[in-house]
Amino acid sequence: MPSARDWNEWKEAAASPGVDAALRTLYAGVEAAAHLRGPRCEASGRCCKFNTHDHLLYVTGLEIAWFLRQAGEQKAATEPGYEAQIQGLRLPVLSPRQLPDGCAWQVDGLCSAHGFRPLGCRVYFCEKGTEDWQQQTYEKFQTQLRALHDLLGLPYGYMEWRGGILDAARMA
Ligand code: SF4
């Protein structure tokens, strides 16, 4: 897992207007690419119930730091039972399956962090037959995200979403 120093670097970068603008531009590109394909979203909430639907979301540490900054500023709602679920966790968590099933920001089946959700959330759709272009789009923008870290001289950390959020909270 990342060190406290890594988290501090990502946190500082996330507060920089240049990084903020770069991430927003990259995410807008992902949205536009997905929009061109016109996938169907039935707002079933399946995409954010990871254990139930056997699906994992991976993100970078910089994305988590930026996301948490936006969530704090915009006071995004979190799922009411989430705090109790994470307090019941036995640490260290050895497998994503030990983590709460859903994302903390999914409230009543909807994303309360829609405007600042990470790359993986923007490109994942559960509609059958969309897997190939999702993978290609994901790889294209993940490569750009990686290049942004290199450009900024930031450490690169790639991690499972819920575990990364817990780790960032522990380091805060
Ligand atoms: S940030 Fe939003 S879209 Fe992404 S996993 Fe959480 S609730 Fe789902």
Ligand 1 site, CB within 6 A: 47-48, 57, 103, 105-106, 111, 113, 117, 121
Pocket test for ligand 1, best of 64, 107, 112, 117 (most atoms within 8 A of CB): 117
CA of 32 to the centre of ligand 1 (A): 18
Answer yes or no: is pLDDT of 17 > 90.
Answer: yes
What tokens appear for 109 in the block? 């089946």
Write down the pLDDT at residue 43: 80
| pTM for this entry | 0.94
Residue-wise pLDDT tens digits, 67-118? 999 999 999 999 999 999 998 888 788 888 899 999 999 999 999 999 999 9
Question: Residue 21 pLDDT > 90, yes or no?
Answer: yes
Cis status, amide bond into 92, omega within 30 of 0 = yes
Q: Determine the distance separating the centroid of ligand 1 and the alpha carbon of 110, expressed in angstroms.
A: 8
Q: Residue 94's pLDDT is what?
A: 84
**Minimum-distance ligand 1 atom for the alpha carbon of 57:** 5
Q: What is the pLDDT of residue 13?
A: 98
Q: Domain range holding 132?
A: 4-91+99-171
More confident residue, 131 or 137: 137
**132-169 per-residue burial string, b: 16 or more CB within 10 A, e: under 16:** ebbeebbeebbeebeebbeeeebbebebbbbbbbbbbe
* Torsion sign across C-alpha atoms 69, 66, 64, 100: positive
- Looking at every residue in the chain, the average pLDDT score rounds to 93
Domain total in the chain:
1
pLDDT of residue 41: 80
Band of pLDDT at residue 172, cut at 50, 70 and 90? confident
pLDDT(125) > 90: no
Instruction: Determine the distance separating the centroid of ligand 1 and the alpha carbon of 83, expressed in angstroms.
Output: 17
